[in-house]
Amino acid sequence: MKSAVIVFPGSNCDRDAATALGALTGTAPDMVWHKDAALPGGLDLVVVPGGFSYGDYLRCGAMAGNSPIIEPLKAHAARGGYVLGICNGFQILCETGLLPGALMRNASLDFVCKPQALKPDSANSAFTSAYAGVDEVSIPIAHHDGNYFADEATLDTLEGDGRVAFRYLGNPNGSARDIAGILSENGRVLGMMPHPERAIGAHEGGSDGRGVFESLLNAV
């Protein structure tokens, strides 16, 4: 699987994503600067990593969503390439319109950082097939603006189309309908607040995040 990780000023999980991809795919990803005008050719997957792009000024992900690399990212998604947005990456994907809804301030107004219980809501996607038959996983979260919001019609569509990938078990941030991750209409784009790249081996306290990357390897 050929992959790339986009790096924004303020990204701090780009190396985590690169380490996970290298370990699980056997090939180091390309690191793409946000001001680049094109993505490398032949990519299967582009990761938009977590962190605090542009220091979260204006809105989380708002400035990054207007970086030069975003148009090539949209083109990659439009032709059926896979895109994984993690934490700040999820926020960026919502800002670009690649995913619906928005991520707002946590209901508690506190930054939350802990292992988080999740329910894989559907195993019928390229990102979640490895979780078939799994009722609960633990994947770390670390965010201040992870409260997923969308209007009721959008939420009904996401649920009706099976596009909720993960739900929180014990909602840590107030997200509508306990949503922790959603898929695009074509199922090729996933945004999730939890950090699967931080849960790929026992030395990190767990390996439940491996399923996201293993699912993608199987799909590719």
The answer to whether residue 143 is catalytic is no
The answer to whether residue 195 is catalytic is yes
Backbone φ and ψ for 151, nearest 5 degrees, come out as: -70, 165
CA distance 31 to 14: 8
User: DSSP character for 98?
Assistant: S
Phi-psi region of 170 (alpha: psi -120 to 50; beta: other; left: phi over 0): left
CA distance 35 to 68: 5
The DSSP code sequence of 138-160 is: EEEEEESS-EEE--HHHHHHHHH
Q: Which of 13, 60, 87, 94 is catalytic?
A: 87
Q: Which of 34, 76, 143, 195 is catalytic?
A: 195
Tokens 């038959």 -> residue:
133
Burial class of residue 77 (count of CB atoms within 10 Å of its CB; 0-12, 13-18, 19+): buried
What are the residues facing 142 on neighbouring strands? Answer: 113
The answer to whether residue 87 is catalytic is yes
Per-residue exposure over 37-67, b if at least 16 CB sit within 10 Å of its own CB, e if not: eebeeebbbbbbbbbbbbebeebbbbbbbeb
Active site residues: 87, 195, 197
